[in-house]
């Protein structure tokens, strides 16, 4: 019973800490808007600013996983959070674009907490409960929505410089809570660290590349949109920062909270079916979201007929909510693939796939900004995502078609 209580305490404290880390990792989704105005940044520069923490948070995932195995998850998680506090605080005093970029790299370390928390939590639970535990921990992605609820209110009340100071204090408090309510189990440590070269050997397996591509859509796309949607609402519909962030949370919240549900669905119906339907749902939604606001004049026998085609804020938000829900399920189903196919090497593969997803989240906001600067069409962001989903669907179809056919033949033989 005592061990079970420890496991629950570790799960609760780790999930809370990861939620705060993710909220801070996504802080430029809101904070970047007044900074953009202050510095006069173009859309590409804003995308780079918003995505900079995602870059460092992705690159450190593999080494953090190795350190977690060697030194234990508790101490690595604690020191990781503590290391971000000075950079978070110093954001309040930055005045130049390069200063925000450099500090953003250090803040991004908070995003690496996923690769520490996942194995740390998993090792406290038996195999039959491990999937649910990892799903609950992964629901800390909802920290993206937390930032959208909290940050606009702080900025409106005390100015944007107050937000990093509040977040720095929040991170310090989180460090204390985490250390008090978690525990260390020496048996969780590995006797020998896995080298970076050994981690990279998994890249020789084609399945890993497929899962990297899938995860770059469902997680990278989630991160990219979570960083971009507040600004999208402000620019496309003219909403103020508070309302824009609130509506953007309709995407971020289900995209994080429902990840545990996605794990249960994947266990019940299988990773392939779930991921397949997730991609189709995203394909339909991105097709509709891609259509820009359009005005057409049609010549008729009665004169010119003007048609205005556009998604209302309500329809747009509903479609985003559906996408967020689908991505939450998809994030879990991709990791179900990894657990099924690489049960003996899950740490290395999940680290590489997580790295690919994070890099997707870094690249996409920059591309969103570049496309907007080049075309002037805000919905070009969804056109890009529509294309990435098409790649996933085609790849899945041709990769799994032989396996599906073989399963059908085997079923007929048994009949």
Q: Would you call 187 helix, strand, or coil by DSSP?
A: helix
pLDDT bracket for residue 405 (50, 70, 90): very low
Q: Which residues, including other chains, have CB under 8 Å from residue 193's CB and lie 6 or more apart?
A: 66, 67, 69, 70
Please name the residue that has the structure tokens 């829900």. 325
Which is more confident, 232 or 198?
A: 232
pLDDT bracket for residue 66 (50, 70, 90): confident
* 44-59 average pLDDT score: 90
Q: How many residues does the chain have?
A: 415
Please name the residue that has the structure tokens 């519909």. 237
CA distances from 317 to 145, 228, 323 (A): 14, 14, 10
* 157-162 average pLDDT score: 94
Which has the minimum average pLDDT: 98-107, 261-270, 318-327? 261-270
Which is more confident, 335 or 18?
A: 18
Which has the minimum average pLDDT: 50-59, 133-142, 230-239, 288-297? 133-142
Pick the closest to residue 107 from 156, 183, 54, 66 (CA basis). Answer: 54
pLDDT at 335 over 70: yes
377 located within any domain: yes
Angle, alpha carbons 61-328-407 (nearest 5°): 95
Q: How many domains does the chain have?
A: 1
192 located within any domain: no
135 located within any domain: yes
pLDDT at 347 over 80: no
- What is the value of pTM for the model shown? 0.81
Pick the closest to residue 152 from 41, 240, 273 (CA basis). Answer: 240
Q: How far apart are CA 358 and CA 88, in angstroms?
A: 20
190 located within any domain: no
Q: Which domain holds residue 212?
A: 2-185+199-414
191 located within any domain: no
Is 53 in contact with 174 (CB distance < 8 Å)?
A: no
300 located within any domain: yes
Domain with residue 74: its CATH number is 1.20.1250.20
Q: Which two tokens stand for residue 205?
A: 């397996």
Positive or negative, the Cα torsion across 352, 22, 381, 41? negative
Q: pLDDT tens digits, residue range 199-225?
A: 566 667 788 888 888 898 998 999 999
CA distances from 282 to 86, 143, 255, 326, 368 (A): 39, 22, 13, 7, 18
């Amino acid at each position: 019973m005592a061990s079970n209580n420890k496991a629950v305490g570790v799960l609760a404290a780790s999930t809370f800490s990861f939620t705060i880390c993710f909220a801070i990792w996504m802080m430029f989704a809101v904070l970047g808007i007044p900074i953009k105005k202050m510095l006069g940044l173009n859309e590409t520069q804003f995308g780079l600013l918003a995505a900079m923490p995602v870059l460092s948070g992705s690159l450190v995932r593999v080494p953090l996983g190795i350190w977690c195995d060697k030194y234990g998850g508790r101490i690595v998680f604690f020191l990781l959070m503590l290391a971000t506090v000075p950079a978070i605080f110093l954001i309040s005093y930055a005045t130049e674009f390069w200063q925000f970029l450099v500090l953003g790299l250090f803040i991004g370390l908070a995003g690496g907490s996923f690769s520490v928390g996942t194995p740390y939590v998993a090792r406290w639970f038996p195999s039959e409960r491990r999937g649910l535990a990892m799903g609950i921990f992964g629901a800390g992605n909802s920290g993206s929505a937390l930032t959208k609820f909290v940050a606009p209110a702080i900025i409106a009340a005390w100015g944007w410089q107050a937000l990093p100071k509040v977040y720095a204090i929040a991170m310090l408090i989180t460090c204390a809570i985490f250390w008090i309510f978690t525990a260390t189990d020496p048996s969780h440590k590995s006797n020998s660290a896995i080298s970076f070269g050994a981690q990279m050997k998994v890249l020789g397996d084609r399945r890993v590349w497929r899962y990297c591509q899938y995860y770059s859509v469902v997680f990278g796309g989630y991160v990219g949109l979570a960083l971009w949607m507040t600004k999208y609402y402000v620019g496309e519909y003219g909403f103020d920062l508070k309302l824009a962030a609130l509506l953007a949370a309709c995407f971020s919240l289900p995209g994080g909270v429902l990840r545990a549900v996605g794990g249960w669905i994947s266990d019940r119906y299988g990773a392939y079916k779930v991921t397949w339907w997730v991609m189709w749902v995203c394909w339909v939604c991105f097709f509709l979201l891609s259509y820009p606001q359009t005005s057409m004049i049609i010549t008729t026998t009665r004169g010119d007929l003007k048609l205005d085609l556009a998604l209302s804020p309500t329809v747009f938000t509903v479609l985003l909510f559906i996408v967020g829900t689908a991505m939450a399920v998809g994030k879990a189903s991709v990791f179900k693939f990894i657990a099924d196919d690489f049960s003996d090497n899950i740490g290395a593969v999940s680290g590489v796939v997580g790295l690919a997803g994070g890099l997707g989240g870094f690249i996409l906001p920059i591309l969103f900004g570049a496309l907007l600067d080049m075309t002037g069409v805000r919905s070009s962001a969804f056109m890009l995502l529509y294309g990435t989903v098409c790649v996933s669907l085609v790849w899945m179809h041709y990769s799994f078609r032989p396996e599906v056919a073989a399963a059908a033949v085997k079923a007929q033989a048994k009949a």
